[in-house]
């Protein structure tokens, strides 16, 4: 691939530089891939679609494959939902525009807004004023490359055209699969947080984006739902859940649902019911009765019962009771 684009050091102070690395990687990829000249792409229905300068016909899954990387000799790439989140962010930042097609034609046409900032025509290169206060020396340093670039534009656009033609043949199927995956999760993780947890500040947005890149929007949302079911709105609680899933190597929503179902069943089986032997009533305190009371019960002589209010007698003193007991003993009542 030939040609060049202008890049600016001001991006070091921009919002995208403060986002996770995947954001800038996708942004750079789109700048490299958009057309330098207007071209026409053949469509499946026999018509032609005009791709203008600064536009790229692609799909979410194609971008995910293109921005992949090797890590420890193993190829890795972001999931399409993470790429979709980055594209949505770029749209919200008014950096790109996305057209998904009309009249049954499904595609992803990315347009970089203010494309002349990054790849100017030959006439605009002669303009002394440049974007973002770029110096005259910076423009002149690219003059030689610019002349060579104009020669290589045709081959570059032909290569881009071939790649876009291949992408568009798969685009309808890929977009359908992607939208089918999104039926269960109508909102992304950022919107779910705003709707259920509260205001989404930049720091929290970065944390959610990082988790979505490592796992998946659907998994992060599942962790937030579990957090809410435990009567808390703390994202630290959500992160603890996610870390637990990662430590158990649970990387799919199906594996996570199976794991949580087993946990719930195990917890339910360990619940102790009041009628089980694990629950014992506390011993009722019983005062020790006098020895003579027990002896009277053993001899079949019940202790005196209180009389009704009509015939109630004044209560006897303890001394009277002892004297009465002594008399009964002398008469042979007690053995």
Fold topology of 189-269: Arc Repressor Mutant, subunit A (1.10.10)
Residue 290 has pLDDT above 80, yes or no: no
Task: Answer yes or no: pTM beyond 0.75.
Answer: no
Predicted pLDDT of residue 35: 84
The overall average pLDDT reported for the chain is 73
CATH 1.10.10 domain position(s) in the chain: 189-269
Higher-scoring residue by pLDDT: 275, 102: 102
Interval 156-177: pLDDT, tens: 545 555 555 555 555 545 544 4
Interval 199-239: pLDDT, tens: 878 788 888 888 887 888 889 999 999 999 989 999 999 99
Higher-scoring residue by pLDDT: 299, 27: 27
Predicted pLDDT of residue 184: 39
H/E/C letters for each residue in the chain?
CCCCCCCCHHHHHCCHHHCCHHHHHHHHHHHHHCCCCCEEEECCCCCEEEECCCEEEECHHHHHHHCCEEECCEEECCCHHHHHHHHHHHHHCCCEEEECCCCCCCCEEEEECCHHHCCCCHHHHCCCCCHHHCCHHHHHHCHHHHHHHHHHHHHHHHHHHHHHHHHHHHHHHHHHHHHHHHCCCCCCHHHHHHHHCCCCCHHHHHHHHHHHHHCCHHHHHHHHHHHHHCCCCCHHHHHHHHHHHHHCCCCCHHHHHHHHHHHHHHHHHCCCCCCCCCCCCCCCCCCCCCHHHHHHHHCCCCCCCCCCCCCCCCCCCHHHHHHHHHHHHHCCCCC
């Amino acid at each position: 691939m030939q040609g060049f684009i202008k890049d600016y050091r001001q991006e070091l102070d921009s919002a995208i530089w403060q986002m996770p690395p995947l954001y800038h990687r996708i942004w750079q990829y789109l700048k490299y891939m958009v057309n330098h000249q207007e071209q026409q792409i053949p469509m499946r229905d026999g018509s032609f679609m005009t791709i203008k300068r600064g536009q790229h016909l692609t799909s979410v899954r194609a971008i995910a494959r293109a921005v992949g990387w090797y890590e420890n000799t193993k190829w890795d790439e972001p999931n399409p939902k993470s790429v979709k989140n980055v594209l949505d962010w770029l749209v919200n930042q008014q950096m790109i525009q996305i057209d998904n097609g009309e009249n049954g034609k499904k595609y992803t046409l990315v347009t970089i807004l203010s494309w002349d900032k990054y790849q100017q025509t030959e006439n605009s290169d002669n303009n002394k004023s440049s974007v973002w206060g770029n110096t005259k020396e910076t423009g002149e340093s690219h003059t030689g490359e610019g002349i060579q670039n104009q020669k290589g534009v045709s081959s570059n656009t032909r290569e881009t055209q071939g790649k876009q033609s291949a992408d568009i043949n798969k685009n309808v199927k890929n977009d359908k699969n992607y939208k089918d995956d999104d039926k269960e999760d109508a909102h992304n993780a950022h919107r779910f947080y705003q709707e259920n947890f509260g205001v989404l500040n930049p720091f929290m947005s970065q944390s959610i984006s990082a988790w979505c890149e490592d796992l998946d929007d659907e998994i992060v949302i599942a962790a937030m739902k579990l957090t809410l079911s435990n009567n808390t709105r703390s994202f630290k609680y959500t992160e603890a859940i996610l870390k637990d899933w990662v430590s158990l190597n649970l990387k799919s929503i199906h594996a996570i649902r199976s794991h949580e179902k087993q946990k719930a069943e195990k917890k339910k089986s360990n619940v102790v019911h009041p009628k089980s032997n694990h629950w014992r009533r506390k011993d009722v305190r019983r005062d020790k009765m006098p020895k003579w009371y027990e002896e009277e019960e053993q001899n079949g002589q019940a202790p005196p019962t209180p009389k009704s209010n009509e015939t109630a007698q004044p209560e006897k003193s303890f001394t009277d009771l002892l004297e009465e007991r002594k008399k009964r003993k002398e008469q042979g009542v007690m053995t």
